[in-house]
Chains A and B, each alone.
Chain A
């Protein structure tokens, strides 16, 4: 049973307790400086960034914050158990690909009105993450970051192969040629994760789609011409031998292979930056994704949500307004892991300073113009698992693409219709 299947089961139980405490007009708002619990997924270093955020908040006159920082693997398990048992945190930080089940079961209090009272104007923020966190016609959670998919590339290996720096708007064919030119003894050109989040920008770039209707999806459309052509192009790239072999992937993740110079390029979001900065002697930068048709990238974003069971909505809203405000966003931007969702901080030196790698952080902001997001629907986490498992068969085990696409339809479509 995958963690996400389990999540679905647990949230089913959560529905009972959430309905019992559905927010009413007279819901207790509590004092503005009440002690609140904030749960977020963070590795130990990230946790330190959030601790300094909590400290700065208290110094600015805020109340006490109990931070529950949970590992990446345990965040959803703990969150869903806590909701099911009525022991939910006041505030939690969650990815837009995973929040829909919580909203559907009444576990989230829509955040729009709460932040209005705090005097926060959403017009100061990028609209793509705001739209991803809008569900049932209301802003449910407040986006903390707006990351996108980029190409991380190793400057030293590019120089050694005599290649120029990747340019914005480079074509898929240039990308394939570059990957092949970089592939030499002991080095592979590019690493590609078999996941729908990684493939989405290419599918959109080719004019394809993942599902029939982004707002209310009823079936997957990966087998249709546009999407299929994009996936076929990736399969063809893998066939050239410019990507790590199955054994290499089994022994080390793409990130580690990139750190040790065994991989010249890989695609990921901003999340890799702190770890790559720590590698002494690694000279890396970021570049825009290659284009198959029109430029496209995919949104990566987390937001702060207020639990519907929280008795301290006033304190929760006050903290969130601070965390996504000028000071809070600057603290998290300096940590290196996030692209600020507040425009004024995203364009400030706190984020763009070339003093710390990657020098071309502007690439993340340039991608915003053509950012799109995967569908927001309660069964999406499970659909994502299904597609990932099948793509892995096509990319790593050489299973014919059409066989895999048929399997995705068979398994994922019923999940979407189940709602």
Chain B
């Protein structure tokens, strides 16, 4: 198990070591060796090539808004699928699966046209609007799966007690589906932190781009400046790793409790 996790950690280690190499050297043969001496100044050079603080702020804003909205929308949709009956239920699942089959590229143009039409095509939060549509049907199906394990009699009893559909979702389904909520929150955080194709096609002004898109541009840096690109990659990856480190305890705890 530990050996397996080491395999997955290797790219991170290479990234950190690479970010400490001296720039303006010929590209290495294969993997970088231990940097000697470590060039911490690479980290200070990153803002010279992209407005790092500003882009990080855009990304943070995006995640803070988009993730809660995604969880709320997809969990409601998941409950709707579970409480539907017969043909309607099959239809809803069918629609979700079908939407998963649509290639992302096919949606770029309609999305931009739609957002421009309502005048929302150029804000740091433009990409967060995707959360109103649940980001991806996969999260909806995840919630549907989690809620399908709740006894039907329990949901029906709650309705007979006079609870509104909203209260059933808020006071019965959501607490019982907590592991799914945590999982969707984790997955959508990663999605919004690392998406660059959506902002590239949706957002007009570079000033409103998230940090992932800035990093993608940095990846085309001349070979000699690669350490600076890797330093940028470390800076952008660190918050995501940190969030996972903090969140993992509650994540595993909630999964074990279920």
* A binding-site residues for B, Cβ under 8 Å: 1, 6, 10, 13, 37, 43-45, 47, 66-74, 77-78, 81-82, 84-87, 251-252, 255-256, 259-261, 274-275, 278-282
Contacts and interface: CB of A to CB of B under 8 A. Distances in A.
A282 B26 contact: yes
B223 A280 contact: no
Contacts of A70: 200, 217
Contacts of A72: 220
B235 interface: no
B219 interface: yes
Which of A1, A44, A261, A280 has the most CB atoms of chain B within a 10 A radius of its CB?
A44
A114 to B, nearest CB: 23
B207 to A, nearest CB: 9
A85 B29 CA distance: 44
- Majority secondary structure of chain A interface residues (helix, strand, loop or mixed): mixed
Contacts of A275: 222-224
Contacts of A37: 204
A96 B221 CA distance: 24
B234 to A, nearest CB: 17
A87 B24 contact: no
Given A70-B217, A81-B112, A252 B224 contact: no
27 contacts: A10-B109, A43-B222, A44-B50, A44-B221, A45-B225, A66-B206, A68-B205, A69-B206, A70-B200, A70-B217, A71-B217, A71-B219, A78-B200, A78-B201, A81-B109, A84-B113, A85-B113, A86-B113, A87-B116, A87-B121, A87-B204, A251-B30, A255-B223, A259-B223, A260-B26, A280-B25, A282-B26
A85 B26 contact: no
B120 to A, nearest CB: 12
A259 B26 contact: yes
B25 A256 contact: no
B247 interface: no
B245 interface: no
Contact of B221 (A45, A74, A256): A45
Contacts of A84: 109, 112-113
A278 B68 CA distance: 46
A66 B112 contact: no
Interface string B66-84: 0000000000000000000
Contact of B216 (A6, A71, A82, A281): A71
Given A43-B217, A279-B26, A68 B112 contact: no
Nearest to B207: A66
B224 A278 contact: yes
B108 interface: yes
Contact of A256 (B27, B200, B205, B217): B27
Nearest to B26: A260
B221 A43 contact: yes
Nearest to B50: A44
B105 interface: yes
Contacts of B206: 66-69
A29 B257 CA distance: 67
Contacts of A74: 200, 216
Nearest to B201: A81
Counting contact residues on chain B (CB < 8 A from A), the size range is 20 to 34
B75 to A, nearest CB: 32
B201 A45 contact: no
Interface string B14-46: 000000000011110110000000000000000
A255 B220 CA distance: 13
| 4 nearest A-B residue pairs (beta carbon) | A85-B112, A278-B224, A275-B222, A44-B49
Nearest to A262: B29
Interface string B132-170: 000000000000000000000000000000000000000
B181 to A, nearest CB: 34
B218 interface: yes
A332 B27 CA distance: 26
A259 B222 CA distance: 11
Contact of A85 (B30, B49, B109): B109
Interface string B91-110: 00000000000010100110
A123 to B, nearest CB: 36
A256 B223 contact: yes
Contacts of B220: 43-44, 71-73
Nearest to A253: B223
Given A6-B105, A81-B112, A44 B218 contact: yes
Given A86-B113, A256-B27, A259-B27, A77 B201 contact: yes
Interface string B214-258: 001111111111000000000000000000000000000000000
Nearest to A37: B204
A105 to B, nearest CB: 14
B214 to A, nearest CB: 9
Given A74-B216, A77-B201, A78-B200, A85 B224 contact: no
A70 B113 CA distance: 21
Contacts of A44: 49-50, 217-218, 220-221, 225
A280 B112 CA distance: 45
B231 to A, nearest CB: 13
Given A68-B206, A70-B200, 15 more contacts: A6-B105, A44-B50, A74-B200, A77-B200, A78-B201, A84-B109, A85-B112, A85-B113, A85-B121, A86-B113, A251-B30, A256-B27, A279-B24, A280-B25, A281-B26
A256 B220 CA distance: 13
A37 B105 CA distance: 24
A125 B71 CA distance: 59
Contacts of A280: 24-25
Which of B116, B201, B219 has the most CB atoms of chain A within a 10 A radius of its CB?
B201
A43 B113 CA distance: 28
A208 B114 CA distance: 50
A274 B222 contact: yes
A386 B221 CA distance: 28
Nearest to B214: A44
B116 A86 contact: yes
A78 B203 CA distance: 10
